[in-house]
Amino acid sequence: MPDIARDSRVASSGVRQLSLVPAAAASSDLSGSMRVALAIKRVADFCAAALGLVLLSPILVLVGLIIRLESPGPALFKQERLGQAGEPFTFLKFRTMVDGNDPSIHQEYVRELITQGSESLKGDTGSFKIENDPRVTRFGRILRRTSVDELPQLINVLIGDMSLVGPRPPLRYEVKLYSPRALRRLECRPGITGLWQVSGRCETTFDEMVALDIEYAERWSLGLDLKILVRTIPVVFGRKGAW
């Protein structure tokens, strides 16, 4: 789904220029109803993120303190991710790993996942999280299983880098391995939850994730976002597909 207020072309992102609209529409002929729907989505994102940050502030502070007490390093993990049309932004989440860990482990895993065929690694962990990763702290495993580590992304939603619903934002080195089809994941503003997250999460393959994200882009509507948000609740509490 397009961001009608943003027409960025990010040559430095290492990916080709992408249309900012879903396959169902072109930026030059967006209907008035689509523009209104997108405006409503942005307002809803902003209001929900602001309310969530206020209501959850005691939990956010407590989690941050526990992280700092358990292991040296900051409570928040900051990482460059690529958003809509490959635009880079600073992605936030609670730190679940030891500070200063070696990123090459994950880079190699992602390379194998994308280039060697999704089925070969589906039974291992699925999309982009390594099961029994030795870099993850004890409290970090709890945060991951409960998805509490994702709560700081409400800040990303508040400032407009992300939405409540959309594809997960990829890493730069991940996108460099994408096929033209996989690059379509960048047509939409990334989200905290999405069609992939409520359809198996880490139990799905890379190709399945791409297919679900493309399906979301093509079928997007406010109603679909609402359905995904409702389906997210049992997925989170059921801890389905979380490592």
Tell whether 20 is covered by a domain.
Answer: no
What are the structure tokens assigned to 98, written together? 């030891």
What are the structure tokens assigned to 221, written together? 């509507």
Tell whether 113 is covered by a domain.
Answer: yes
Tell whether 123 is covered by a domain.
Answer: yes
> Which residues are within 8 A (CB) of 139 and not within 5 positions of it... i.e. 6 or more apart?
66, 67, 70, 96
Tell whether 12 is covered by a domain.
Answer: no
Chain Cα centroid distance, residue 4: 20
Residue with tokens 């080195």: 173
Q: Give pTM, 2 decimals.
A: 0.81
Residue 77 CA to residue 93 CA, distance in Å, equals 5
The pLDDT score that the predictor gives to residue 18 is 47
Which stretches of the chain are DSSP H helices? 32-55, 57-70, 104-115, 119-122, 138-146, 153-159, 172-175, 206-219, 222-238
Tell whether 21 is covered by a domain.
Answer: no
Chain Cα centroid distance, residue 12: 21
The pLDDT score that the predictor gives to residue 112 is 79
The pLDDT score that the predictor gives to residue 131 is 62
Tell whether 14 is covered by a domain.
Answer: no
Residue 57 CA to residue 41 CA, distance in Å, equals 24
The pLDDT score that the predictor gives to residue 20 is 38
Q: Count up the domains in the chain and report the number.
A: 1
The pLDDT score that the predictor gives to residue 134 is 76
Tell whether 8 is covered by a domain.
Answer: no
The pLDDT score that the predictor gives to residue 108 is 82
Tell whether 23 is covered by a domain.
Answer: no
Enclosing domain of residue 113: 29-238
Q: Which residues of the chain register pLDDT less than 70?
A: 1-30, 116-132, 201-203, 239-243
